[in-house]
Amino acid sequence: MKIISVVGARPNFMKIAPFINAIKEVNNNGNKIEHLLVHTGQHYDDRMSKAFFESLGIPEADINLGIGSGTHSEQVGNTMIAFEKVLLEEKPDWVVVVGDVNATLSCSVAAKKLHIKVCHIEAGLRSGDEKMPEEINRLVTDRLSDLLLTPDVLSNENLKKEGVPEEKIKFVGNIMIDTLEANKEKALKVEINSIIQNNLLDDQLRAKSYELKANSYAVMTMHRPSNVDEKEILTPLFRFLSDEVTSDMPLIWPIHPRTQKMLKTFGLWEEALANDNMILLHPIGYHDMLRLNMDAKIMLTDSGGLQEECCVLGTPCLTLRWNTERPVTLREHGGASVLVGNNVERIREEYNTTLKLERKPQRPKLWDGETAKRCVNAIIEFK
Ligand code: UD1
């Protein structure tokens, strides 16, 4: 059997690493799966891509499509054109896509048009918000996939409601948690202060040394277009962080390239650099982020993956979104997150409540570190 699996952007890398290891394992036990890894090249900075391949032990991609940045249609169109050539040349039995980025959509469409079977890892997540590019990617990918591997039971229900035949759906658990389990010992060895020293933005003018202790700092990530692309939204969010959060405690903020660009565009960048308690970092590696998360007093994020990691680590989390495709991570389901959107009054209220919360780890069903094996077995057993 020949499988091509696809990655494109940062959140894909931690999902594909355990999948590739699980293929190696079944091959060691007598199976003969030929596997090729394709990187579409959507994320191309070393810190957004190469660093994750190295630290998670992902073999270099067999093929890199070099797509880079662009509008959604440019990214999707260019990926389809390039990936179709790969498929015609390599003739795989399966294309495996993960998550919800543009690569996930483009490669599943290209494969289906050539009658190649598609397996989607992390199927069935729904935010119900079609203004999110990721939601369009999820809907199309799941509609086309032959095998839909779901991370939680709520996702199974979503797919059934949409009329997906039950035999196509398999509940396997959350593959991100395989990576978390495999890497938490290594992450624990990383020193928080060295994360800061090694990743401070070059143009930051301070030469201060930080001595942060557990439970004494906040961590922040934000990259969604709905939070960062408009001045009227980003400015009050930034004011809250700069005027309020950083008066309470240091705020460690690894900045996504999109967000850095928008802070500069809206004239907020210099103020961010000048604030000693706003610790601006380059995008950081997997172990560094896991380490910061383990001891953070509070997480503020619009990332779906961090919401899941906060759930398992128990880090009290404010999710800077109005909806989530991962309700299992919310406090009403036993998780650590609460949805706060991007309205500052709501954020402030929940921030004050959240600061009083204790760390409360929670493990949804099958978030057990063994998901990748179930994924590979589901493909082998597919009829
Ligand atoms: C993408 C995914 C999103 C995921 C996020 C994580 C889609 C639709 N979105 O969003 O689901 O949560 O990645 O990071 O696929 N850029 C760089 N260097 C890079 C990559 C991007 O400078 O290595 C710049 C691009 O030029 C662009 C901006 O960052 O201006 C955004 O990149 P893009 O690939 O469009 O999407 P993300 O916002 O990263």
Give the model confidence (pLDDT) of 150-207 as tens digits.
999 999 999 999 999 999 999 999 999 999 999 999 999 999 999 998 999 876 656 5
Which atom of ligand 1 is nearest the CA belonging to 9?
13
Dist. CA 40 → ligand 1 center (Å): 12
d(CA 287, CA 293): 10
The overall pTM is greater than 0.85:
yes
65-107 tens-digit pLDDT:
999 999 999 999 999 999 999 999 999 999 999 999 999 999 9
> What pLDDT shows up at residue 210?
74
Dist. CA 176 → ligand 1 center (Å): 19
> What pLDDT shows up at residue 34?
98
Residues 6+ apart with CB under 8 A from 58: 13, 16, 17, 20, 37, 52
Structure tokens at 203: 């143009």
Which atom of ligand 1 is nearest the CA belonging to 133?
8
Q: Which of 144-148, 199-203, 256-260, 267-271 has the lowest mean pLDDT?
A: 199-203
> What pLDDT shows up at residue 204?
63
Q: Is the CB of 257 inside a 6 Å radius of any atom of ligand 1?
A: yes
Alpha carbon nearest to ligand 1 atom 22, residue: 257
- The fraction of the chain above a pLDDT of 90, given in percent, is 95
> What pLDDT shows up at residue 207?
54
Q: Is the CB of 258 inside a 6 Å radius of any atom of ligand 1?
A: yes
Structure tokens at 357: 């919360």
- Is 287 in the active site? no
Dist. CA 224 → ligand 1 center (Å): 9
Nearest Cα to Cα of residue 38 among 82, 99, 101: 82
Strands ordered across the beta sheet of 251-254: 278-281, 251-254, 218-221, 298-301, 317-319, 337-339
> What pLDDT shows up at residue 208?
62
What integer best gives the mean pLDDT of the chain? 96
Catalytic residue among 43, 223, 256, 287: 223
SS3 133: helix
